[in-house]
Amino acid sequence: MRAAVITFPGSNREGDVARALKQAGATVAQAWHADTALPGGTDLVVLPGGFSYGDYLRTGAIAARAPIMDAVRSHSARGGLVLAICNGFQIACEAGLLPGVLVRNANLRFACKRQHLKVERCDTAFTRAYAPGQLIDVCIAHGEGNYICDAGTLAHLEDKGLVAFRYCDAEGQVTEAANPNGSLNGIAGIYSESLNVLGMMPHPENLIEHLTGGIDGKGLFDSLLGRSRAA
Amino acid sequence: MKARVTVTLKTGVLDPQGKAIEGALASLGVDGVSSVRQGKVFDIELSGNDQASAHAALTTACEKLLANTVIENYRIDLVA
């Protein structure tokens, strides 16, 4: 597994996600927003968290038009894997890799806390190391994580099983109280039509060591390295 | 030539910032405000003088960058 982590001006989680990928066994290359091609042999592109371009105009809007993004779109169109976390999710939506948009949290507060998620399906390249319906305890840190889209798109996401994760409470209940930002249907992450692009607001890369709070995020990186739950 | 592009949220899109401003106006004692929606204004200077090509360039600018048409509408006003 060769991963390319793209750094935009204002990205700040590229080192953490690279570390999580290396821990899982991936070969990680760093790519720069102004590059026009991905490193040779890239299997996985990562759009990391941060505050690209200072969130100017709209979160992710300017990064989505960076030179490297044409190569990312081609990679995705070929079926290549893309993992877009937090600001990366905002960039992926703005770039048209995923439908919908992430707007200001409904309560207007920056949410920085531990958060339970429900893993909606465990048959994708990103989640096969998790158990069906598993609850995971990860971190969120965002001011614009409120996922919205039109009614037709939402129905399509639900009908096709393209919701990857939902915010829930410690019992796994998807409730309004457990929703930290007002996202439609408690959506914390979604897949593209072909399940090769995952966008998510929470930070799995924060939860890969017992020393720093738990390992519930590790399953995502293990999944990407091809390890399934049974393996 | 100068132009002003106004980007506003589509009807029905929740605007928590507008709501917060609405609340702040009420707490300041500004009466009679029933709703606030926040938007963006871009004042743009163009090098040419042809209205049609200016409009076309600004439409491209709006569609490609200035507005996210999933949630926003835009309006282009050319100011001589």
Give per-residue pLDDT as tens, A109-160: 999 999 999 999 999 999 999 998 899 999 999 999 999 999 999 999 999 9
Interface test with B, best of A53, A55, A57 (most B CBs within 10 A): A57
Sorted by where each starts, the structural domains of chain A and their CATH numbers stand as 2-224 (3.40.50.880)
In B, which residues are within 8 Å of A62 by CB distance?
65
B16–A149 CB contact, under 8 Å:
no
Tell me what pLDDT residue B14 has.
Answer: 86
Token pair 């889209």 is found at: A149
Tell me what pLDDT residue A227 has.
Answer: 84
Banded model confidence at residue A230, pLDDT cuts 50, 70, 90: low
Tell me what pLDDT residue A231 has.
Answer: 46
* Max Cα-Cα span within chain B: 47
Token pair 């598993």 is found at: A134
B68–A65 CB contact, under 8 Å:
no
Establish if A106 touches chain B: CB-CB under 8 angstroms. yes
> Which residue intervals of chain A are DSSP H helices?
14-24, 68-77, 87-94, 151-159, 218-224
B14–A105 CB contact, under 8 Å:
no
Catalytic annotation on A205?
A: yes
Tell me what pLDDT residue A146 has.
Answer: 97
User: How far does A180 lie from chain B, in Å, by closest CA?
Assistant: 14
Whether pLDDT at A229 is above 90: no
The pair of three-digit structure tokens given for residue B51, joined into one six-digit string: 């209205």
Its pTM stands at: 0.94
Whether pLDDT at A50 is above 60: yes
* Distance from C-alpha of B13 to C-alpha of B39, rounded to nearest angstrom: 12
* Max Cα-Cα span within chain A: 46
Span A54-107, pLDDT tens digits: 999 999 999 999 999 999 999 999 999 999 999 999 999 999 999 999 999 999
Marked catalytic residue, from A75, A86, A94, A139 = A86
| Predicted complex ipTM | 0.86
Establish if B69 touches chain A: CB-CB under 8 angstroms. no
User: How far does A43 lie from chain B, in Å, by closest CA?
Assistant: 28
Nearest to A131 by CA among A142, A143, A140, A123: A123
Span B52-62, pLDDT tens digits: 999 999 999 99
* Distance from C-alpha of A204 to C-alpha of A218, rounded to nearest angstrom: 7
In B, which residues are within 8 Å of A184 by CB distance?
none
Establish if A65 touches chain B: CB-CB under 8 angstroms. yes
Establish if A73 touches chain B: CB-CB under 8 angstroms. no
Establish if A216 touches chain B: CB-CB under 8 angstroms. no
Query: Dihedral, CA atoms, B46, B49, B52, B57, nearest 10 degrees?
Result: -20
What mean pLDDT is reported for chain A?
Answer: 96
User: Which of A101, A104, A106 is closest, CB to CB, to B70?
Assistant: A101
User: How far does B16 lie from chain A, in Å, by closest CA?
Assistant: 6
For A110, counting Cβ atoms within 10 Å of its Cβ (0-12 exposed, 13-18 middle, 19+ buried), the class is middle
The pair of three-digit structure tokens given for residue A45, joined into one six-digit string: 């592109």
CA of A146: which chain B residue's CA is closest?
B14
* Distance from C-alpha of A222 to C-alpha of A125, rounded to nearest angstrom: 10
Interface test with B, best of A53, A56, A58, A59 (most B CBs within 10 A): A58
The third-level CATH classification (topology) of the domain covering B2-79 is Mth169; Chain: A , (3.30.1280)
The pair of three-digit structure tokens given for residue A7, joined into one six-digit string: 């750094």
Per-residue pLDDT of chain B (80 residues; tens, 9 = 90+): 999 999 999 998 989 889 999 999 999 999 999 999 999 999 999 998 999 999 999 999 999 999 999 999 999 999 97
User: How far does B49 lie from chain A, in Å, by closest CA?
Assistant: 27
